[in-house]
A = this chain, B = another copy of it.
Amino acid sequence: MKSAPVTIKDIAKALNISISTVSRALRGMPEIHPDTRSAVMRLAEEWDYQPNQLAKNLAKSRTKTIGVIVPNLSYYFFSAMLNSIEDAAIQAGYSVLVCQSNESYLRETMQIQNLLRSQVEGFILSLSRDTSNCAHVERLIQKNVPLVLFDRYADNMAASKVMVDNREAAFKATEHLIENGCRRIAFLAGPPQLVLSNQRLAGYRDALTKHGLYMGDQYVFHCDYTQENTLMQTLALMSLPQPPDGLLTVSDRIAYPAMYAMKQKGVRIPDDVAVVSFNNEPLSSLFSPSLTSISQPIQEMGMETVRLLLRQLEATDGPITPETTVMPTQLVVRESSLRMKSADFLNGVLSS
């Protein structure tokens, strides 16, 4: 039960002028007489006039709005990315409509549909865990809807992408474990359809192979990102006849429960098992032991994502060639992987 909001028509009627004059005054067009303008402004102020954005957008056939769909805002990485994306978008005069897919393919397609109906001018998208079929995204591309994927993308799609070099990062992380004396290194991966997880798996294999430690994927277990599942996979891992002495996890969200499960089993970290992970959430430094993790330049990734989208949004002559930006990562070493106290010992192992 609220009274009808005031419109430019109300103001025009009250001031006995035309609605176009009110419209122009409100928008600060230069041709308006100062007296007229101030009268309009005064009344608008007094009545707390709020322009109807729907009508505005409809009239201009533009919304200056971009749709952002992420799997889950409770993951630090995604909510941080959202903040960065929002800042960059606002800076460029765009506003943002946020949706979560809740890791569901169905929900993802529905959100795309909804945003499309809401006339967003472009999409920033990170695929859900359950998305293996990408027809819904392909449809956007076919329609020439500006689109940038980040982090969770799919291969073989003619879309702009922003990501880190997952393979290289995993290689780096795995080699760090090897340098710290690990010989049987396990990988708690994400679901098999996650490209990012597979790339990290590849980097993990690369490092093991390079150091003559690769023995098939017997130490690779897939997690579905739930706490319960990770606890189970970790226990399974530790019950292997030859349990691992090093662990790489695809995300801090996987590492936390994994470390918990190991500690419960009396496994000492890093002495029995050294752990390295991905994402470098702020909380990772607060765990005990603090967690070594690959950090991604979230701030820059958000800005770059928006930049690639703006390129498409503001292109005047036809569709633009998709562009992929690979951002650097950084290994942040903490207690969970620093096994050796002595640099000499470290060097000894490496040269042996």
Q: Which residues of B contact A46 (CB under 8 A)?
A: none
Cα A53 to Cα B53 with chains together (Å)? 12
**A55→B100 CA distance, assembly (Å):** 25
Does A98 sit within 8 A of B, measured CB to CB?
yes
- Would you call A318 an interface residue if the criterion is a C-beta within 8 Å of the partner chain's C-beta atoms? yes
A1-B315 in contact (CB<8A) = yes
Q: Which of B48, B58, B76, B318 contacts A55, CB < 8 Å?
A: B58
Q: Mark A9-33, 1 if CB is under 8 A from B, else 0.
A: 0000000000000000000000000
Q: For A315, list chain B residues within 8 Å (CB).
A: 1
A265 on interface, CB distance cutoff 8 Å: no
B97 lies within 8 A of A97 (CB): yes
A71 CB to nearest B CB, Å: 12
Please pick, from B52, B73, B114, B263, the residue contacting A117 in the complex, using a CB distance under 8 A.
Answer: B52
Are B2 and A143 closer than 8 Å at their CB atoms?
Answer: yes
Asked, given contacts A1-B318, A79-B74, A80-B74, whether A52 binds B119 with beta carbons under 8 Å apart, the answer is yes
With beta carbons under 8 angstroms apart, the residue of B50, B54, B119, B317 that contacts A1 is B317
Stretch from A163-171, A215-223, A283-291, A300-308 forming part of the interface with B: A283-291
Query: In the complex, what residues of B have CB within 8 A of residue A287's CB?
Result: 286-288
Interfacial chain B residues near A76, Cβ < 8 Å: 74
Other-chain residue from B2, B83, B256 in contact with A144 (beta carbon distance below 8 A): B2
- In angstroms, Cα B48 to Cα A116, docked, is 11
Number of chain copies forming the complex: 2
- The reply to whether A117 and B51 form a contact with Cβ atoms under 8 Å apart is yes
Q: Does A139 contact B (CB under 8 A)?
A: yes
- Least CB distance, A263 to chain B, in whole angstroms: 6
Is A257 close to B, CB under 8 A? Answer: yes
A7 to B207, CA, bound (A): 55
Q: Contact at B286–A256, with CB atoms within 8 Å?
A: yes
Bound Cα distance A345, B320 (Å)? 74
B-chain residues with CB within 8 Å of residue A256 when the two chains form the complex: 283, 286
In whole Å, how far is A128's beta carbon from the nearest beta carbon of chain B?
A: 14
Of chain B, the residue at the smallest CB distance from A98 is B98
Q: Which residues of B contact A320 (CB under 8 A)?
A: 1
Identify which of A74, A100, A118 gathers the most chain B CB atoms within 10 Å of its CB.
A74
B-chain residues with CB within 8 Å of residue A119 when the two chains form the complex: 52-54
CA distance A260 to B285 in the complex (A): 9
Give the shortest distance, in Å, between A327 (CB) and chain B (any CB).
21
Instruction: Say how far A53's CB is from chain B's closest CB, in angstroms.
Output: 4
Query: Would you call A159 an interface residue if the criterion is a C-beta within 8 Å of the partner chain's C-beta atoms?
Result: no
Q: Give me 6 other A-B pairs in contact (C-beta within 8 A), A1-B320, A54-B63, A286-B287 excluded.
A: A53-B117, A73-B74, A73-B79, A227-B282, A260-B285, A263-B288
The 9 lowest CB-CB distance pairs between A and B, nearest first, are A74-B79, A53-B117, A2-B144, A260-B286, A73-B73, A73-B79, A54-B58, A256-B286, A53-B118
